[in-house]
Amino acid sequence: MFARLGRTVALHPRIVVVAWLVLSVLGVALAGGVVGDGALGRVTTATPVAPGSQSAQGAQVLADARTSGPSVTLVVQGVDPTVEGLDDALDPARTALAAITGVVGVYDPLGLPDGITNPAAAPLLALDGQGFLVVVELAPDLGEGAQEASLEAVTARLTTLPQDLAAVAPGATGIVGADHLVQEELTVEVGRDLGTGALLTLPVAAVLVLLVLGGLLAAAIPFAAAAVALAVGLAALWVVAAVTDVDASVVTVAAVLALGLSLGYGMLVVHRFLDELHDLVDEDDGAGSRRRRGDGAVAEAVERTTATAGWTVACSAAVLAVAVSGLLLLGPRVLAAAGVVVVLVVLVAAAAALTLVPALLVVLGRRLVQPGVLGPLPGVRTLRARAVQRARDPRVSAVRSQVRGRPWWVVAGCMLLLGVLVAPASRVDLRVSGTELLPATATQRAFLEALAAGYPAASSPAVAVVAETDLEQAQAWAEQVATLEAVASVDAPTTMGSYVVIGVRPASTDPGGAVAQRVVRDVRALDAPFEIWVVGQAAEQTDVTQMLKARAPLAAAAVAVVTLALLLLATGSVTLSVAALGTSTLVALAGAGALVVVFQTGRLDALLGPAATGGVETSALAIAAPVAFGLSAGYGMALLARIAELHEAGRRTDVAARVARRRSWVLLTAVSGVLVALLGGLVVADLVVLQEIGVALAAAVLLDATVVRLLLLPAATTVLAGQSWWGAAWLARLRDPLVRLR
């Protein structure tokens, strides 16, 4: 199948290139906003929600009962509300705001009857007496376009309001806050993080690709595939976001994976093609590969490449796609959407490597191996030769000797190291944070912090109870809630349609911390004479965590079974397949351990900024763990399949392991290095969830490339010796059709 694919591409390379070019243009049009609102315009600030849980049901009840529209709030700072002339200075802004289409109310403490002495003005006045709030409410029945225009007009006018007060309060400043502004700021941050990461990491990746492939033309091919995969992958995200909510952070993750996987897969294909072409042309200038159409040597090299490296790419991509598909079984829709996006990106990257890259190889042909400005560069020939086993690095040879001479010690040392790195994962505390994930310098985060510090009565309580009862019964039950140990205060019950809402404020400023979670549990445990729903960040976090704990074992088991089946078919060994499955699991857990050390404990805050949120973000761990597992299992499969191939050719197990490691360590390490470099763009991002995904994946990929593939798997293969191929006889009957397919 893969050899036939290579022949087909070799016969019609320009058609393949044009087809991918058309797809990339369409992708840019969709993802870039040429048609519609683009990928960044489609995403939201979605957080994981447990479908059917009490918090999800309560949130839906509130949404259905809400009769008010969206609001925009201005926190005015540096102004004494009692200063003379302030009320008159606010009149022009009140008039202008009230005239905006869709505005149904403009509220500030001085505009109320009797002004700031009105009891209703208290929530709008700063505790320190140096500020006040201006709240503008919109009608709930505005159309999407009209609402967007009204929100923009209100925001613009509120932004300039402090300037109206210059005559009576020269030091007045203000911060405008609203839900739509959080979305806008998050979108801007995602775009900025993506651009900054690309600027910092792509040059490093380019150097690695150039060093391994040896020439500018050869190095340009994986980058061409990466650019196309990026455009098509983000277009796929655009389509998914049109159907369901996709969190904004997934855009950056999808972009990094599209680039990293495409470059890695492209390097594998181009590197193998250069080897095959050298073998064909060095001896007789390709005379033995003549064909009716095109350059016979190039066509045959492409055919051999797709049958070998193409097979490796397909297997690695399949394992990664299977691993990420486990997100579909966890429950929260936002995680399922992220899983669908990542799977599509993986498939696009693999498809580009299997079709576009070979087509470009055919088009460029022998120019890739001919000396010239764009051909092989003399300065990198030594490294290129090492990658194709034409030289030996003494330091690597020393490591090989240790692995070969003391395999038991190597296995024991690697397992001990993995155990130490995995241990912190047992203490992981999952979080579902809100605006705390925004950078400390974000305007909307500053707005919410100012609101919580200066206007506690106007800020939303961390926990809320939706009760299906009347106000009198709710008041009586709220008195019981106020007696709970972890509760600091309870807001006066308010009606919302046929329901009553009771705000509960935990004795902690952390809306998702242990105290808030205890309040959720204690309130739910109270006996209420009516139906209640406990909602809020801590409630959502509790419900999501419970759902993940219940469903994660099933999802992990399903992924493990399918991955093991793929490993068995690729290697023909039960022992090696189980070993690869186990090491990949440890690598993923080590990535989770890195998250605990860096973010939950905050030990690297001085390096990464104030990133610790007291735990690990659920979405970050849910995305990073399966991706880390899939990458490790995929590249491990490539190494073990090579060992199996050499063993089937008659090599002893220890010799096969040594030869496979020597032939692949430079290339596979460089592929991992490119991915780690690109993941570094996530580590330096401003959004905490991106930092967490970047740290987990970078740590896992680095660990897999060094400890697992360079040391542990080859040493384990040597230790197991003949036992490595237990089950090979009966597996051969299953693998034969697969080998013929290959």
Q: What share of the chain is helix, strand, coil (3-state, %, to 5)?
A: 70, 10, 20
Are 223 and 18 contacting, i.e. CB atoms less than 8 angstroms apart? no
Question: Which residues sit opposite 44 in a β-bridge?
Answer: 247
To the nearest whole number, what is the mean pLDDT of the chain? 85
Number of Cβ within a 10 Å radius of residue 497: 12
State percent of the chain over pLDDT 70. 88
Encode pLDDT of 201-241 as tens digits: 889 898 888 888 888 888 999 999 999 999 999 999 999 98
Sorting pLDDT into bands at 50, 70 and 90, what band is 698? very high
User: What is the C-alpha to C-alpha distance for residues 633 and 629, in angstroms, rounded to an integer?
Assistant: 6
Please indicate whether residue 258 or residue 710 has the higher confidence score (pLDDT): 258
Encode pLDDT of 356-415 as tens digits: 999 999 999 888 877 655 555 555 555 555 544 443 444 445 455 555 567 788 889 989
583 three-state secondary structure: helix
Outline where 326-373 has alpha helix (H). 333-351, 357-364
State percent of the chain over pLDDT 90. 44
3-state secondary structure 140-203: CCCCHHHHHHHHHHHHHHHHHHHHHCCCCCCCCEEEEECHHHHHHHHHHHHHHHHHHHHHHHHH
Q: What amino acid is encoded at 601 in this protein? A: T
Encode pLDDT of 115-140 as tens digits: 899 988 999 999 999 999 999 999 98
Sign of CA dihedral 246, 251, 256, 262: positive
727 three-state secondary structure: coil
Fold of 2-44+183-432+543-741: Multidrug efflux transporter AcrB transmembrane fold (1.20.1640)
Sorting pLDDT into bands at 50, 70 and 90, what band is 675? very high
Sorting pLDDT into bands at 50, 70 and 90, what band is 702? very high
Residue 549 CB contacts under 8 Å (≥ 6 apart), including other chains: none
The model carries a pTM of 0.87
DSSP 489-503: EEPPPEEETTEEEEE
The pLDDT of residue 389: 45
The terminus-to-terminus CA distance of the chain in angstroms comes to 5
The pLDDT of residue 391: 38
The pLDDT of residue 737: 62
Question: Which residues sit opposite 133 in a β-bridge?
Answer: 75
Are 28 and 521 contacting, i.e. CB atoms less than 8 angstroms apart? no
pLDDT over 80 at 585, yes or no: yes
Encode pLDDT of 518-566 as tens digits: 999 999 999 889 999 999 989 999 999 999 999 999 999 999 999 998 8
The pLDDT of residue 137: 94
Closest among 232, 301, 222 to 263, alpha carbons compared: 222
Encode pLDDT of 450-485 as tens digits: 988 898 877 888 899 999 999 999 999 999 999 999
Structure tokens at 289: 């590969």
pLDDT over 90 at 501, yes or no: yes
Are 232 and 27 contacting, i.e. CB atoms less than 8 angstroms apart? yes
Structure tokens at 425: 């994962």
User: What is the C-alpha to C-alpha distance for residues 86 and 83, in angstroms, rounded to an integer?
Assistant: 6
Residue 481 CA: distances (Å) to CA of 465, 467, 474: 10, 13, 10
Are 592 and 425 contacting, i.e. CB atoms less than 8 angstroms apart? yes
Encode pLDDT of 162-189 as tens digits: 999 999 999 899 999 998 888 888 888 8
pLDDT over 60 at 609, yes or no: no
Give the single-character DSSP code of 425: G
Number of Cβ within a 10 Å radius of residue 451: 18
pLDDT over 70 at 59, yes or no: yes
The pLDDT of residue 388: 46
The pLDDT of residue 381: 54
> What average pLDDT score do residues 684-712 get?
88
Give the single-character DSSP code of 645: H
**Residues shown for the chain:** 742
User: What is the C-alpha to C-alpha distance for residues 147 and 70, in angstroms, rounded to an integer?
Assistant: 9
Please indicate whether residue 347 or residue 291 has the higher confidence score (pLDDT): 347
441 three-state secondary structure: coil
Encode pLDDT of 411-446 as tens digits: 899 899 999 999 999 998 888 887 777 787 888 889
The pLDDT of residue 378: 56
pLDDT over 80 at 61, yes or no: yes
CATH number of 71-177: 3.30.70.1320
Residue 642 CB contacts under 8 Å (≥ 6 apart), including other chains: 660, 663, 664
What are the sequence ranges of the domains in the chain?
Answer: 2-44+183-432+543-741, 71-177
pLDDT over 90 at 161, yes or no: yes
State residue 237 phi and psi, 5-degree precision.
Answer: -60, -40
Are 684 and 611 contacting, i.e. CB atoms less than 8 angstroms apart? no
> What average pLDDT score do residues 64-93 get?
91
Structure tokens at 252: 């950056």
pLDDT over 50 at 714, yes or no: yes
Residue 647 CB contacts under 8 Å (≥ 6 apart), including other chains: 653, 656, 724, 725
The pLDDT of residue 390: 41
Please indicate whether residue 466 or residue 665 has the higher confidence score (pLDDT): 466
- Residue 342 CA to chain centroid, in angstroms? 9
The pLDDT of residue 383: 52
Please indicate whether residue 318 or residue 732 has the higher confidence score (pLDDT): 318
> What average pLDDT score do residues 31-57 get?
81
Burial 228-253 (b: 16+ CB within 10 A, else e): bbbbbbbbbbbebbeeebbbbbbbbb
Please indicate whether residue 261 or residue 442 has the higher confidence score (pLDDT): 261
Please indicate whether residue 667 or residue 384 has the higher confidence score (pLDDT): 667
Burial class (CB in 10 A: 0-12, 13-18, 19+), 722: exposed
Give the single-character DSSP code of 513: S
Q: Any idea which residue has 């201005």 for tokens?
A: 74
User: What is the C-alpha to C-alpha distance for residues 387 and 669, in angstroms, rounded to an integer?
Assistant: 10
3-state secondary structure 21-73: HHHHHHHHHHHCCCCCCHHHHHCECCCCCCCCCHHHHHHHHHHHHCCCCCEEE
CA contacts within 13 A on the Cβ side of 581: 22
> What average pLDDT score do residues 86-102 get?
93
pLDDT over 50 at 46, yes or no: yes
Burial class (CB in 10 A: 0-12, 13-18, 19+), 115: middle
Structure tokens at 81: 């509300």
Sorting pLDDT into bands at 50, 70 and 90, what band is 736? low
The pLDDT of residue 349: 96
pLDDT over 60 at 292, yes or no: no
pLDDT over 80 at 77, yes or no: yes
The pLDDT of residue 35: 65
Reading phi first (left if > 0) and then psi (alpha if -120 to 50, else beta), residue 652 is in beta
Sorting pLDDT into bands at 50, 70 and 90, what band is 295? confident
